[in-house]
Amino acid sequence: MGRGAYALARVAVVVRAPAGWLWWPGLLAAGIGALVPGLTGRTAGLAAGAALFVGAALVVFTARRGRYAALARGASRAGKAVILQDRSVTLRIWRRAHRWWLLLAFLAAVASSGVAPAAGGLLMAGAALGLWGKAWWLGRWEREHEALLWLRTESARRGGAAGKEVRGYVLTGTAAGDARPGGARAGNARSGGARAGTRAGGPRAGR
């Protein structure tokens, strides 16, 4: 990368990376669970699952928001030497690192239907909804401040987007990277391919 260069990943992309991998397996697990009578019965299981869905969404959405806000307020402007990691690369790295945990979570959600049908799957889906909500909240911050939030890739791998390893966020203009505010895929997103990303000082650096 050159002297002084380091890679950055979008904060919102890191936050929303698990969402799809919790949402669809969660709904599948809930659908499978709805076919099982369970110890509590389907009606009680679905009612418990609905409560878990709402509760998980709220907990995940509100968790550590103060930490995110503090890091955003203290963010510094990115230098020209940094490498902006593509959205697809960030998602692929997260998926590879957590694929076995996701499989175990899915199997546990299906198995829990023997007690409360669909409850485990709806819990997973609720957590996914909370992550999407948090990414939307970050996107609103980015639109209001006309800047995108990034963090060093090694910090994201070790502790997530707001873990203890994260010392601070970095700001770029809204034209940088290949994802919209909030981390959603841009309409003209490039394929991540084998490249790590682009330099912040390049033509896509924006403001």
For 31-61, how does the pLDDT look when each residue is reduced to its tens digit (9 = 90+)? Answer: 999 988 888 888 999 999 999 999 999 999 9
Specify the pTM.
0.86
Asked if the structure places residue 205 within a domain, the reply is no
Asked if the structure places residue 1 within a domain, the reply is no
How many independent structural domains does the chain possess? 1
pLDDT of residue 206: 39
Could you give the dihedral angle defined by the CA atoms of residues 7, 13, 75 and 163, in that order, rounded to the nearest 10 degrees?
-90
Asked if the structure places residue 140 within a domain, the reply is yes
pLDDT of residue 79: 85
Asked if the structure places residue 51 within a domain, the reply is yes
Asked if the structure places residue 204 within a domain, the reply is no
Do the beta carbons of residue 96 and residue 13 sit within 8 Å?
Answer: no
Asked if the structure places residue 98 within a domain, the reply is yes
Q: Which domain holds residue 164?
A: 7-199
Fill in the DSSP letter of residue 35: T
pLDDT of residue 190: 43
pLDDT of residue 4: 62
Q: Give the residues of the chain that fall short of pLDDT 50.
A: 1-2, 189-197, 201-207
Asked if the structure places residue 180 within a domain, the reply is yes
Q: How many other C-beta atoms can be found within 10 angstroms of the C-beta atom of residue 198? A: 19
Cα distances from 31 to residues 34, 38, 47, 49, 113, in angstroms, run 5, 13, 14, 12, 10
